[in-house]
Amino acid sequence: MPTHVSSAPTDDLAVRAFLFFSQSYTSKSEDVRRAVRLLLGYDIALQEGGRIRLISMYAPSKDRSLAFQPVREPAAPMPFELMTALEEGDGVGGLGQGEVLMNGEVWLGQRRSLPGFLASLTLTLWEAKEGASVGVQ
């Protein structure tokens, strides 16, 4: 009697399972990215080390982005800190880097609200793009 058992069916099953889960994960991650873009107005790129890069759909150029890195301290008031307010050029969208960083200081530093910072930036970029002013009508 042979003592060697072929592992071909098991290997084939493992490959098929891997492909299924890989395709499902890719599909779901694209769904999440699309939902973030439609609901919040940002394209999101997950990078090494837990970093996140955001590009506003209202930015006039896609080379303008925000980069955040995770804060490793358990007692930190914010889970992420702003690493950079641009990738190239002098700011995000039509804003200068100083204006973005000052806005970040208010919302991230004083108010400790990452959603507030992104909402404020989104409104400012939308106003610049649309040539409008947000206000109660």
Higher pLDDT, 88 or 42: 42
The band of 95, judged by pLDDT with boundaries at 50, 70 and 90, is: low
pLDDT at 4 over 60: no
Beta bridge partners of residue 125, listed in sequence order? none
pLDDT at 107: 93
C-alpha–C-alpha distance, residues 63 and 2, integer Å: 63
**Mean pLDDT confidence for 69-77:** 86
Q: In percent, how much of the chain has pLDDT > 70?
A: 80
d(CA 95, CA 98): 8
> What pTM was computed for the model?
0.70
**pLDDT tens-digit readout, 26-67:** 888 889 999 999 999 999 998 899 999 999 998 877 777 889
Task: Tell me the average pLDDT across 103-132.
Answer: 89
3-class SS of residue 111 = coil
Burial label for 129, CB within 10 Å (0-12, 13-18, 19+), is middle
74 CB-contact burial (10 Å; exposed 0-12 / middle 13-18 / buried 19+): exposed
